[in-house]
């Protein structure tokens, strides 16, 4: 302790012998060193940490703005979903089930004969399975007049089930027109849940003593 006091006394004694300019320079250098130490040891690390916090704040603020925007549009999406679900339910009702398919095919065939057409071919083809429905195509070949063919299309369109006519080909034939087409109806098919994985083999039974 005495040595420290002695050294401080010597330092201030030497400092007193310096000129005013020299003492000013020493003060400025001391302040500069203190300022540099404060900047590099305290201010700079804190400033970097503050910038990270600010960046994270901006990021979270942007996310919050997106969530708020999505929340405002949510009722619109819900309304659209409800509308699409209603349309889907109507479409499902227009699809016959397995029990109704034979009757529907009979109605399509009857539409041809009622229109005055000579039905030469009415043959169901191989079914095509889709996600929740099955396509049932029917190959049709008829003969008749233009108005009779038009009436057949009109009668099919009036059916209360979905029936699409495609691959239409009309050729002149004596004494009437010859037409081939494919009538496609659709059968609703419920999607079955996927079977769960097979359970592991049961442990071997213990042998009886």
Question: In CATH, what number does 101-188 get?
Answer: 3.30.70.60
**pLDDT per position as a tens digit, 149-161:** 999 999 999 888 8
d(CA 164, CA 183): 6
The predicted model gives 89-99 an average pLDDT of 67
Neighbours of 161 (CB within 10 A): 18
Residue 118 DSSP one-character state:
E
Mean pLDDT across the chain, nearest whole number? 79
| Phi, psi for 99 (deg, rounded to 5) | -70, -25
pTM over 0.75: no
Residue 178 has pLDDT above 80, yes or no: yes
Q: Given pLDDT bands bounded at 50, 70 and 90, which one contains residue 179? A: very high
How high is the pLDDT of residue 209?
47
Question: Which has the higher per-residue pLDDT, 19 or 62?
Answer: 62
Q: Could you state, in order of their start, the residue ranges of all structural domains in the chain?
A: 1-93, 101-188
CB neighbour list of residue 146: distance below 8 Å, 6 or more residues apart: 177
Residue 181 burial by Cβ neighbours in a 10 Å radius (0-12, 13-18, 19+): buried
d(CA 170, CA 140): 12
């Amino acid at each position: 302790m005495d040595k420290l006091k002695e050294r401080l006394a010597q330092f201030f004694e030497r400092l007193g012998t310096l000129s005013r300019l020299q003492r000013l320079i020493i003060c400025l250098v001391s302040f500069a060193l203190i300022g540099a130490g404060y900047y590099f040891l305290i201010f700079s690390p804190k400033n970097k940490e503050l910038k990270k916090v600010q960046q994270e704040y901006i990021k979270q603020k942007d996310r919050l703005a997106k969530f708020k925007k999505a929340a405002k549009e949510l009722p619109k999406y819900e309304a659209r979903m409800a509308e699409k679900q209603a349309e889907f339910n109507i479409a499902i009702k227009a699809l016959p089930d397995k029990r109704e398919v034979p009757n529907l095919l009979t109605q399509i065939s009857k539409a041809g004969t009622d229109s005055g057409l000579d039905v030469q071919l009415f043959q169901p083809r191989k079914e095509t399975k889709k996600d929740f429905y099955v396509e049932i195509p029917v190959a049709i070949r008829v003969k008749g007049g233009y108005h009779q063919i038009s009436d057949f299309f009109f009668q099919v369109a009036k059916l209360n089930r979905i029936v699409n006519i495609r691959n239409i080909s009309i050729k002149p034939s004596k004494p009437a027109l010859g037409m081939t087409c494919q009538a496609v109806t659709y059968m609703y098919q419920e999607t079955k849940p996927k079977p769960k994985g097979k359970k592991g083999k049961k442990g071997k039974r213990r042998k009886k003593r």
